[in-house]
Amino acid sequence: MPLLPLLAFLRFLAQFCATIWRELRNPDNPEFRGLLTLVLIILGTGTLFYHFVEGWRWLDSLYFSVTTLTTVGYGDLSPQTGFGKLFTIIYILSGLGVLVGFVNVLATHAIRRQSRATPKRLGNGESAPPE
């Protein structure tokens, strides 16, 4: 396995976790905490549902919940009961918007932080004074 892609992934994962941790501690960002709470509730609800209704293992239930809401949908698992299929339709329609909203807020804050850390360049190649 090539080492460079693994290191790049680990760096991304570390930055992702650091951004989540930083935003959780930010008292000026109740939107982030609210969306994170909703995402955890939705994933937990899906995990519980698929475990008890479809009879899947806990990890399979969480895996299906995440892959469904991120629209990856590998197709290796699928609900077999009518109630499971109906729940999945409602689960996707309600959960997808919350998950997209959470990712949007997370990306916005990461981009904002990155742009503050990177000095702006003027047309002549010199750095602009800090704001």
**What was the pLDDT predicted at 11?**
92
Whether 18 is in a domain gets the answer: no
- Total domain count, the chain: 1
Whether 105 is in a domain gets the answer: yes
Whether 127 is in a domain gets the answer: no
Q: Is the overall model pTM greater than 0.85, yes or no?
A: no
For residues 4 and 1, what is the distance between their CA atoms, to the nearest angstrom?
9
Which two structure tokens, joined as six digits, stand for 6?
Answer: 């693994």
For residues 110 and 40, what is the distance between their CA atoms, to the nearest angstrom?
20
Instruction: Tell me the one-letter amino acid at 122.
Output: L
pLDDT tens-digit readout, 36-93 = 999 999 999 999 999 999 999 999 999 999 999 988 888 899 999 999 999 999 999 9
Whether 66 is in a domain gets the answer: yes
State which residues form the domain around 100: 30-117
The single-letter DSSP state of residue 54 is S
Residue 29 sits at φ, ψ, to 5 deg, of -130, 65
Whether 24 is in a domain gets the answer: no
For residues 63 and 77, what is the distance between their CA atoms, to the nearest angstrom?
9
**What was the pLDDT predicted at 2?**
77
pLDDT tens-digit readout, 92-114 = 999 999 988 888 888 887 788 77
Assign residue 109 the CATH number of its domain: 1.10.287.70
The answer for residues whose C-beta is within 8 angstroms of residue 45's C-beta and 6 or more apart is 91
| Gyration radius (Cα) of the chain, Å | 20
CB 46 within 8 A of CB 61: yes
Whether 126 is in a domain gets the answer: no
Whether 21 is in a domain gets the answer: no
**What was the pLDDT predicted at 126?**
62
Q: What sign has the CA pseudo-torsion 97, 99, 100, 102?
A: positive
